[in-house]
Structures are given as C-alpha cells and as structure tokens.
C-alpha cells in the first residue's frame, strides 16, 4: 500500500508518481463532470481531480468543505493548480463528511472571532501560528544558549506590579481577594539571588478597558532578570534576543511571511546595535510634529507611532520621567527626575514591544519610592526583603510575545497574533 505523505512532500515528487495524502477539503467545486477537491493539511494545499472513470467519482462529488479525507492518485503537472501539480484522483476515503461549514468568504471580522475555533483553520491563521511557533522556539533557544535558567512564577498574586488600575481581582478559595499577575518580574527578581540569570514565558493579565489594536487582557509575557548588570547590559540582551528571533523567522518562515504578504526588508534590518532615542529628544520630535506633549507626559500609541516614522528598525526609547514609569524603576543618580529604563519600540507604527530597566537595589530608596507613588510598603514586604539580604544591582525586562508576533507577521491587530485572544469584549470561544 502507498504511504500517506505530507502535502508539501507530495508537491515535490515528479509527475507520474503515485501519492496518498490526507487532510481537509479546503475548496470544493464541480466543473463539467470533473470533481475538484483542494486538500489542506498542516503543510500546505494540493488539488485533486476526480473524473467519472474513477470509482470514487460519486463520493468526490459529495465531499463538503472541511470534510476530512484521504486521497490517492497519480501526480501530474498543472500550472493552474496551486503548487503547479494536481492529483489525478483514484481512491477517496471520506473520514468525516462535514456539515455545512459556517465560514464564508465574506464573513465579518466579528463573526470570525465568534467562530474562532473554526477560523483557526484558515491558511492565514495557520501561517501566523507557524511564525508564532518559531518566535517562541527561538526565544527559548536564545536564553538557553546564553546561560539563563527557565523559571516559573505564580499566577495568583497579592499585590500590583504595574499599578492598581489594571488589576484583575479573583475571589480566592478562602474568601479573600487575590489578583491575576500583571508580570512575573518580582518573582524573577527573587530568583536571581540563586540563579543569577533567569527567564520565564507565562501569561500576564491586565484589566485593560481600552479597545486598541495592541492590548489584550491576557497576553504572553517573556520576562528576564539578570543579577550584576545595568541598563546598558539589559538593552544588549534585548537587542540580541530580538535579532535572533527575527533571523530565525526569516530562515524558517519565508513561505508564511509571503502568504501573509509581509514585506521583509525591515525585518532584514534587525541587527544590533539598535538605535537609541532619549525621551527628551522624543518630546522635541513630537512637538515638532505638532503633538501637544510636554516633558513628563507618558507617551501613548499615537505618539509612539509618530516616533517609529523616524526609524527603519526597532529602537530604544530611554530616560523616561519618574512619574511615567512603575515604582520599581531606579532613578538615574546623575539626573533623579528620570529612570534608568528603556522601552523597545518596533518600527512601522507598531511601537512598544519591551519595557525594562534597572531596579532599585537599596532598601530605603525603594521604601521611599513606594510611598511617593501613594502605595503601602507593607503590601511589598517580601519584595523589600530582597533588599535586606545581599542585595545586588540588577536589571530586567518584559517582552510582549503577542506584540512581537503582530509586528513580525505584519498584522493589523494583536488579536490575530494568537489563536484564542482575550480582550475587553471577548472570552469566547
């Protein structure tokens, strides 16, 4: 009997070969007395045609879109078929005859999200998920090759990392209120005292009420924390990591990028060192472009988009004012009104994909800063302890994996960067 092979392999064989593939009916139509089935598997699509001389011809005519099936036949060249080859069908086994598939070509965006469990079968989504797979794989590859330990923090936490406004309260088993974590940073900080260089990839949760192209309520967060380093050191880590990930996607996902219509010129520019723009200079640029911003303001998506017009590669924005960044950021001793922090912004309008910087290592300084943010040091007792027993200079960052995929794949909206997005208005399917 003929072995079942992936569609992609079948397309590489010479005309005249006998092939057997399995998958789902991606397209189905009859043309005269010929029944056409385009078969999709995880590797690609191939067209099969059944003529009346095949005993399977009546079955082929019955096949509905998304039916699962096994097709066997002879390969022949056909420049009109996808991939330039077509299977002259001999045998057809219908594994499951699909009901009328609800997704039509003209389906609205909202409907596609409602049937996301079926829409994930689209070729576009398949390519995005393959790129996403490479992004996660390359991230682990880089950290492991560079001496980091992978660790895991808890998802239920008792205090805010990134400010109370986006905390998700959860009623805990003992009746108390706990929160879903906004970031694993503090737990990573605790672990550098033994492992020195740690990273994690985990969900983070933000009760984001705004509907934007770049906010999820549950996102995948890659975070790293490194002992004995500073802002400059952590920025090097970030640029090396991002460059490695982009190189891997270019190597492994050329077909997927093409299917998505992604222009790759900018991706090829992603080599360290990345340009660095100070917050001060950014404010000047923005004022020059007519934005009503003044020194001290936090920069929103529109401002970031305008700044990305100045660069053809990712760039760092550093030296944010103290009030624009979370309390744990260390103030610059030579300029106490700014933090030793940097965001990494993706070009082409995408904006922030990483936030990171140096942490406060002195106990008194951290207590004072917590108070100055109107927070209660007692809520951060264990975090303060880390400054009581062998404190060291350290720095770290958080990378939004969904935002990174959105940019690399050139997507319009972050919800298309992961299979089952969670947003302010969606927790189904």
Where does this chain bind Mg ion (CB under 5 A)? 355
By a kind-dependent CB cut-off of 5 to 8 A, residue 319 interacts, out of Mg ion, ligand 4AD, none, with none
Binding residues (CB under 6 A) for ligand 4AD: these are 161-162, 183, 185, 206, 208, 215-216, 219, 221, 223, 352-356, 396-398, 400, 402-403
85: which strand partners? 77
Phi/psi at 256 (5° precision):
-70, -40
Q: Give the total residue count for the chain.
A: 429
**2 with 18: CB under 8 angstroms?**
yes
Name the binder of 185 from Mg ion, ligand 4AD, none, CB < 5-8 A by kind: ligand 4AD
Closest residue to ligand 4AD, judged by C-beta, is: 400
d(CA 210, CA 402): 17
Cα 78–chain centre separation: 37
- Minimum separation from the CB atom of position 215 to ligand 4AD (A): 4
- Residue 183 binds which one of Mg ion, ligand 4AD, none, with CB within 5 to 8 A depending on kind? ligand 4AD
Q: Considering the complex, what minimum distance in angstroms separates the CB of residue 428 from ligand 4AD?
A: 19
Q: 27 CB contacts (<8 Å, ≥6 apart)?
A: 36, 37, 38, 65
Q: In this complex, which beta carbon is closest to ligand 4AD, that of residue 54 or of residue 339? A: 339
Closer residue to Mg ion, CB minimum distance, 89 or 356: 356
The sign one gets for the Cα dihedral 157, 158, 164, 165 is positive
When the beta carbons of 25 and 131 are compared against ligand 4AD, the nearer one is 131
Residue 356 site contact among ligand 4AD, Mg ion, none (CB < 5 to 8 Å, cut-off depends on kind): ligand 4AD
What is the number of the residue whose Cβ is closest to Mg ion? Answer: 355
If contact means CB under 5 to 8 A according to the sort of partner, which of Mg ion, ligand 4AD, none does residue 416 touch?
A: none
- Angle between helix 231-252 and 123-145 (nearest 10): 140
CB of 352 to Mg ion, least distance (A): 6
Q: Is 402 helix (H, G, I), strand (E, B) or coil?
A: helix
Of Mg ion, ligand 4AD, none, which one sits near residue 348, judging by CB under 5 to 8 A according to partner kind? none
**Residue with smaller CB distance to ligand 4AD, 352 or 368:** 352
Q: From the list Mg ion, ligand 4AD, none, which binds 197 (C-beta under 5 to 8 Å, kind-based)?
A: none
Q: How far is the CB of 396 from ligand 4AD (least distance, A)?
A: 5
Chain-centroid distance, C-alpha 7 = 27
CA dist 400 → 221, 290, 427 (Å): 5, 29, 20
Spatial distance between the Cα atoms of 387 and 395, rounded to a whole number of angstroms: 14
Which position has the token pair 């039916």? 67
Distance of closest approach, residue 181 Cβ to ligand 4AD, in angstroms: 10
Please tell me whether residue 49 adopts helix, strand or coil conformation: strand
**Could you tell me how far CA 384 lies from the centroid of its own chain?**
32
Q: Which is nearer to ligand 4AD, 81 or 128 (CB)?
A: 128
In whole angstroms, the minimum distance from the beta carbon of 306 to ligand 4AD comes to 18
Cβ 297 to Mg ion shortest distance, Å: 14
Residue 216's binding partner, choosing from ligand 4AD, Mg ion, none, with beta-carbon cut-off 5 to 8 A by kind? ligand 4AD
Contact predicate 327/160, CB 8 Å? no
Q: What angle do CA 293, 374, 154 make, to 5 degrees?
A: 100
Choice between 246 and 399, CB closer to Mg ion:
399
CB of 320 to ligand 4AD, least distance (A): 11
Cβ distance to ligand 4AD smaller for residue 24 or 219? 219
Could you give the CA distance from residue 366 to residue 358 in angstroms, rounded to a whole number? Answer: 12
């Amino acid at each position: 009997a003929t072995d079942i092979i992936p569609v992609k392999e079948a397309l590489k064989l010479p005309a005249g070969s006998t092939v057997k593939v399995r998958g789902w009916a991606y397209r189905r139509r009859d043309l005269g007395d010929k029944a056409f089935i385009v078969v999709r598997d995880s590797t690609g699509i191939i067209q099969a045609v059944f003529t009346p001389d095949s005993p399977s011809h009546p079955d082929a005519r019955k096949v509905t879109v998304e039916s699962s099936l096994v097709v066997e036949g002879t390969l022949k060249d056909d420049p009109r078929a996808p991939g330039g080859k077509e299977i002259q069908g001999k045998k057809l086994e219908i594994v499951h005859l699909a009901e009328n598939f609800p997704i039509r070509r003209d389906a609205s965006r909202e409907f596609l999200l409602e049937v996301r469990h079926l829409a994930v079968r689209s070729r576009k989504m398949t390519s995005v998920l393959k790129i996403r797979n490479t992004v996660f794989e390359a991230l682990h590859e880089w950290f492991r090759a560079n001496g980091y330990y992978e660790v895991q923090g808890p998802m239920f936490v008792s205090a805010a990392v990134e400010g109370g406004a986006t905390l998700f309260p959860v009623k805990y088993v003992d009746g108390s209120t706990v929160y879903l974590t906004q970031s694993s940073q503090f737990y990573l900080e605790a672990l550098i005292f033994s492992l020195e260089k740690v990273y994690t990839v985990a969900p983070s949760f933000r009760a984001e009420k705004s509907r934007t192209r770049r906010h999820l309520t549950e996102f995948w967060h890659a975070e790293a924390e490194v002992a004995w380093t500073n802002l400059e050191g952590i920025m090097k880590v970030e640029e090396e990591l991002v460059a490695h990930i982009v190189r891997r996607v270019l190597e492994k996902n050329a077909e997927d990028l093409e299917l998505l219509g992604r222009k790759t010129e900018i991706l090829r520019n992603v080599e360290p060192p990345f340009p660095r723009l100070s917050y001060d200079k950014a404010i000047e640029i923005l004022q020059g472009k007519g934005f009503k911003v003044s020194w001290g303001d936090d920069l929103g998506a529109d401002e970031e988009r305008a700044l990305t017009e100045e660069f053809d590669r990712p760039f760092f924005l550093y030296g944010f004012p103290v009030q624009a960044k979370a309390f744990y950021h260390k103030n610059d001793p030579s300029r106490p009104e700014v933090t030793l922090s940097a965001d990494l912004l993706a070009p082409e309008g995408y904006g922030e994909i990483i936030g990171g910087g140096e942490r406060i290592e002195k106990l008194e300084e951290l207590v004072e800063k917590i108070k100055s943010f109107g927070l209660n040091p007692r809520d951060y007792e264990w975090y303060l302890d880390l400054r009581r027993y062998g404190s060291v200079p350290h720095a770290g960052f958080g990378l939004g994996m969904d935002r990174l995929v959105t940019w690399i794949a050139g997507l319009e909206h972050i919800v298309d960067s992961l299979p089952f997005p969670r947003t302010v208005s969606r927790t189904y399917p």
